[in-house]
Copies of this chain bind each other. A is one copy, B any other.
Amino acid sequence: MTNPKQANIYDVARLAKVSHQTVSRVLNNNPSIRPETKTRVLKAMESLGYRPSLAARALASSKTNMLGILSSDTDFTGPAAMVHYMEAAARAQGYFVVTVGIDANDEESVKSGIDHLMKLGIEGLALVTPQLRAVEMARAAVTGIPVVTIDSMYRMDELAVSVDNFAGGAAATQHLIDLGHKNIVHISGPQGWFESTTRAAGYTATMLNANLVPQVIDGDWQLTTGYRIGKELNIDSKDITAMFIANDRMSIGFLHAMRERGIDVPKRLSVIGFDDLEETGYTSPPLTTLRQDFKELGKRAMNLLLSEIAGTSTKKLERLVPELVLRSSTGAPPKL
């Protein structure tokens, strides 16, 4: 009842009339312990409200039970959800997850974030930082523990989980081509993001493959940028009939601009996004897009990392294919 001082392993041992090591064995599920003894120890723990000290355990066994997540965009829905599921997966296996949010464009921030995690003695690291530079820095700074990247570049010998952005970009583009569009413009994500370049590559390859001319406008994922481009884009003089926009946020801004300009989507112009944010089912018109399963992505990344730590690792790379979600922002091009 009272709680004068946390009991330790010796207190438990005394009460159960065994040695402290036996208590430790019970704690670690050592098989060579008599069930009867085990029960007695367990009962003693219970009655003392015993809680093993993680610090002591870490010190003695040099296993910290800590994992790190380096995340650059925790305030975006996708990554945030992913981090959430990653934590759950890790916790299910008894691991603690420390998530550090960084500004991936600021080398100092990346460095200090990594440093913070290394101080902790993490046993594994997950990078939810799609910016190439940050990934490189982390890979270079972190040695001796497994690192899993999500949606970034990977090498054969590294752990990685990713959405097949190339396939996604290609699928989006092909969808528009199938509808009969020829003059299709792509608004990309920012330079230096793996997702940007890969989606754009999927677009470009598909366009060229259909003997069409790819045209890319640089974006930066931001809603306001989609809006701005939408306001400024010279649609008529260039006779553009379809847009493939690299993410949904920009698409939302873009659609808003179209509405303001009185340009009918999809009658005059088709728009396809990427991500499938919840809101995009409720834009006007509802947005056709490619869905990324962040939950699955996060779970797989964490499992990859955990099995690598456990030494039971078999795969190095997991790939998810984004799924085309048809709504009403795409349709046949206007008749000439």
Contact = CB atoms under 8 A, between A and B. Distances in A.
Interface in A51-90: 51-56, 58-59, 64, 74-77, 80-81, 83-84, 87-88
A84 B91 contact: no
A256 interface: yes
Interface string A21-65: 000000000000000000000000000000111111011000010
Interface stretch (A116-124, A155-163, A233-241, A307-315): A116-124
B101 A98 contact: no
A116 B100 contact: no
A91 B227 CA distance: 36
A3 B282 CA distance: 56
A97 interface: yes
A216 interface: no
A121 B80 contact: no
A251 B70 CA distance: 33
Contact of A51 (B64, B77, B80, B119): B119
Interface in A90-110: 91, 96-101
State which size class the interface on A falls in.
35 or more
Given A59-B56, A101-B87, A284-B259, A74 B80 contact: yes
B121 A53 contact: yes
A77 B53 CA distance: 35
Contacts of A119: 51-52, 54
Assembly of this chain: how many copies?
A: 2
A84 B98 contact: no
Contacts of A98: 96-98
A232 interface: no
A223 interface: yes
Contacts of A178: none
A279 B75 contact: no
A75 B77 contact: yes
Given A59-B55, A81-B75, A120 B96 contact: yes
A259 to B, nearest CB: 5
Q: Which 7 A-B pairs have the closest CB atoms?
A: A55-B58, A80-B80, A75-B81, A256-B282, A74-B84, A55-B59, A84-B101
Interface of A: 3, 51-56, 58-59, 64, 74-77, 80-81, 83-84, 87-88, 91, 96-101, 113, 116, 118-121, 143-144, 223, 227, 249, 252-253, 255-256, 259, 278-279, 281-284
